[in-house]
């Protein structure tokens, strides 16, 4: 090719949709091996993506081995065995169940299927990045309702936000990144305030960690009203399958699921993920043990951080959490705090959203992971120079 003049390419400004050009990038963080190489670290503790540090059930590993003989075939595009299994688990008819390459795949399908430029979407602030990015990708306008000063859902503010037309109302409970939940009464109030023609998307990525009397049965509450809805769940968190990419949606009706099928890539869930998910969903004992261990560690970490704050007065504030993570106001630039923690071998997620950029989100790990984080945080804040 030497000496040949390459043709001028059409400028990106002309090629890309304006909505895409202005999209914020999703902050996916970095892997352990990247951190090791980039920072020359011997020990790395990754607490940035809300994975289950106890890993997947041993039954999953066996199922994966069993699926290897089938990898030359395309996977079942309908995930039929899984849909039947989820019907048995949830009571939602198989025709109203949809699987995705992670639940984020389903969030994208929902936005593609429902949103036109200018449509209004209401969500929470701070929010899981893709609850904002996918609507913006479709040209929608996103209104975010901030949490209260006590890190709870602000119901009066939601009522006001929902008094105007909206095409999509989407929120997570427990919320990522804060960890707050909608209690049954609040859930009902929010749903009843929503415009009657809005699609309600309730993202329950972390619901296993919130098994408590005041955490509502969203399927029951949503079924009792007439707006269309979808509840999203994932195998990436409590089930420990983040690397395989599989999640599911439970819809109000079969038509919604069939329309989403039109914007779904046909073989979106690979055969290893389907086999693993079936095994994971069947091993409830393992799930309970992992969730119990994380809930216990969440309390221990919270108490230790509170004690650290009392003894050292760093200015830390922690949101009460019903997820497998803590949202911590460091009173300093979250980017700088995360970078300093990285140099001590701990990867956390700096929150960069406007109004919350002094917060880091830290996944609850194994006891040794949490101790590493706590020790690193104390060192970082002790050495901090304003
Ligand atoms: C609230 C929420 N929803 C959805 C997802 C996406 O999960 P996945 O695509 O791995 O199923 C996440 C991941 O962090 C999340 O926090």
The residue whose two tokens read 């990898």 is 71
CA-closest candidate to residue 357, choices 326, 380, 335: 335
Q: What is the pLDDT of residue 12?
A: 62
The reply to whether ligand 1 has any atom less than 6 angstroms from the CB of 242 is yes
Q: What is the pLDDT of residue 14?
A: 77
Q: What is the pLDDT of residue 127?
A: 96
CATH number of 58-283: 3.40.640.10
pLDDT in tens, the chain (386 residues): 555 777 776 666 678 999 999 999 888 888 999 999 999 999 999 999 999 999 999 999 999 999 999 999 999 999 999 999 999 999 999 999 999 999 999 999 999 999 999 999 999 999 999 999 999 999 999 999 999 999 999 999 999 999 999 999 999 999 999 999 999 999 999 999 999 999 999 999 999 999 788 899 999 999 999 999 999 999 999 999 999 999 999 999 999 999 999 999 999 999 999 999 999 999 999 999 999 999 999 999 999 999 999 999 999 999 999 999 999 999 999 999 999 999 999 999 999 999 999 999 999 999 999 999 999 999 999 999 76
Q: What is the pLDDT of residue 2?
A: 53
Which atom of ligand 1 has the smallest separation from the CA of 177?
16
Domain ranges (residues) in the chain: 14-43+286-382, 58-283
* Distance from the alpha carbon of residue 103 to the mean position of ligand 1, in angstroms: 6
Q: What is the pLDDT of residue 337?
A: 98
Q: What is the pLDDT of residue 5?
A: 74
Tell me the whole-structure pTM to 2 decimals.
0.96
The reply to whether ligand 1 has any atom less than 6 angstroms from the CB of 128 is yes
Closest-CA residue, ligand 1 atom 6, reads: 104
From 180, 234, 240, the mutation candidate for ligand 1 (largest count of ligand atoms within 8 A of CB) is 234
From 27, 176, 322, the mutation candidate for ligand 1 (largest count of ligand atoms within 8 A of CB) is 176
CATH number of 14-43+286-382: 3.90.1150.10
């Amino acid at each position: 090719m030497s000496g040949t003049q390459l043709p001028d390419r059409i400028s990106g400004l002309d090629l890309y949709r304006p909505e895409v050009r202005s999209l914020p990038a999703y902050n996916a963080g970095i892997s352990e091996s990247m951190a090791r190489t980039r920072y020359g670290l011997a020990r790395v503790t990754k607490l940035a993506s809300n994975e289950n540090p106890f890993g997947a059930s041993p039954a999953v590993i066996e199922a994966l081995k069993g699926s290897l003989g089938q990898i030359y075939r395309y996977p079942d595009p309908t995930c039929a065995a899984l849909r039947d299994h989820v019907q048995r688990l949830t009571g939602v008819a198989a025709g109203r169940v949809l699987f995705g390459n992670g639940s984020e795949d389903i969030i994208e399908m929902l936005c593609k299927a429902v949103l036109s430029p200018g449509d209004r979407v209401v969500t929470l602030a701070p929010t899981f990045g893709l609850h904002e990015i996918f609507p913006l990708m479709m040209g929608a306008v996103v209104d975010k309702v901030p949490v209260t000063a006590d890190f709870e859902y602000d119901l009066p503010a939601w009522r006001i936000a929902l008094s105007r037309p909206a095409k999509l109302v989407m929120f997570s409970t427990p919320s990522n990144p804060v960890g707050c939940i909608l209690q049954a009464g609040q859930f009902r109030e929010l749903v009843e305030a929503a415009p009657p023609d809005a699609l309600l998307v309730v993202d329950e990525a972390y619901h296993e960690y919130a098994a408590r009397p005041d955490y509502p049965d969203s399927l029951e509450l949503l079924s009792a009203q007439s707006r269309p809805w979808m509840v999203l769940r994932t195998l990436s968190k409590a089930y420990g399958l983040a690397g395989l990419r599989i999640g599911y949606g439970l819809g109000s009706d079969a038509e919604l699921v069939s329309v989403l099928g039109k914007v779904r890539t046909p073989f979106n869930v690979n055969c290893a993920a389907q086999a693993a998910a079936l095994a994971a969903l069947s091993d409830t004992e393992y799930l309970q043990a992992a969730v119990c261990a994380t809930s216990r560690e969440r309390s221990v970490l919270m108490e230790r951080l509170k004690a650290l704050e009392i003894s050292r007065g760093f200015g830390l504030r922690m949101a009460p959490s019903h997820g497998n993570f803590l949202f911590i106001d460091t009173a300093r630039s979250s980017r700088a705090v995360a970078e300093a923690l990285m140099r001590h071998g701990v990867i956390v997620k700096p929150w960069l959203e406007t109004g919350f950029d002094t917060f880091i989100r830290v996944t609850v790990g194994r006891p040794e992971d949490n101790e590493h984080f706590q020790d690193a945080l104390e060192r970082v804040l002790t050495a901090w120079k304003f």
